[in-house]
Amino acid sequence: MLVGGGKRMKVGVLALQGDFIEHQAMLGRLGVETVQVRLPQELEGLDALIIPGGESTTIGKLAEAFGLIEPLRQFGQQRPVWGTCAGAIFLSKDARRQQPLLGIMDIMVVRNAFGRQVNSFEIDLDMPFLPSSNGHSTPFHAVFIRAPLIESVSGNAQALATLPDGRIVAARQGRLLATSFHPELTGDDRFHRYFLELAK
């Protein structure tokens, strides 16, 4: 996939903890150059960044230890950032408990909102904003693993996808995206393509 000027797109994946390899594999299949980000200088020259799922307290503490909190906040003011699951928590302004957060998205999240690991589930959800090849968009298979819920959006953030009962599981704020679920664990690349469009 190309950015302006015919240059190949280069996307970072925060690689402190969690399922960054799965995001990298999906991006690789889309023809995107990927970079594992563990240090502030590795953000240089990236067109966008993905923060993977994992354990948000661990990701936050490691980000603090590596001096990444401020550089990530600055990156998010200029370029697209997408957080999946723990990554969405890390992007939020409020996770209802004390833990290091970037706080760059006007969303409030509730961690482990669906219960324990055994209560993980998968569900097909309508996401009409996703690219479609045949004129109408098929439902997206959403994988929830000890997932957070986006309890509320405020300011410039908007709900992007909900469960059938209306609870929010994806939000967008300009070029920032948060999803409670894990598109990188499916074979469906539409969410990644949607994100990459924001970076073009």
| Contacts with ligand GLN, residue ranges (CB under 6 A) | 53-56, 85-86, 89, 111-112, 145-148
- DSSP 8-class letter at 47: S
Contacts of 66 (CB under 8 A, 6+ apart): 16, 38, 39, 40
Q: How far is the CB of 154 from ligand GLN (least distance, A)?
A: 21
Catalytic residue among 64, 85, 141, 197: 85
Q: Is 182 a catalytic residue?
A: yes
Min CB(54)–ligand GLN separation in Å? 5
Q: Nearest approach, Cβ of 188 to ligand GLN (angstroms)?
A: 17
Containing H/E element for 196?
A: helix 190-199
34 or 92: CB nearest ligand GLN: 92
Assess contact for 1 and 31: CB atoms under 8 A: yes
Nearest CB to ligand GLN, comparing residues 9 and 26: 26
Which of 47, 148 has the CB closer to ligand GLN?
148
Nearest distance in Å: CB 132, ligand GLN: 27
Q: Which two tokens stand for residue 171?
A: 């939000």
Residue 23 among the catalytic residues: no
Identify which of 167, 171, 168, 166 has the alpha carbon closest to the alpha carbon of residue 129: 171
- Percent of the chain as helix, strand, coil, to the nearest 5: 30, 30, 40
The single residue of 22, 23, 42, 182 carrying the catalytic annotation is: 182
Asked whether the beta carbons of 47 and 3 are under 8 A apart, the reply is yes
- For the question of residue 85 being annotated catalytic, the response is yes
Q: Say how far apart CA 68 and CA 2 lie, in whole Å.
A: 27
Q: Do 161 and 169 form a contact (C-beta atoms < 8 A)?
A: yes
For 169, the token pair is 């599981």
- How many residues belong to the chain? 200
Considering 22, 23, 42, 184, which one is annotated as catalytic?
184
Query: 69 or 89: whose CB is closer to ligand GLN?
Result: 89
Whose Cβ is closer to ligand GLN: residue 27's or residue 147's? 147
What's the min distance (Å) between Cβ of 148 and ligand GLN?
6
State the catalytic residues: 85, 182, 184
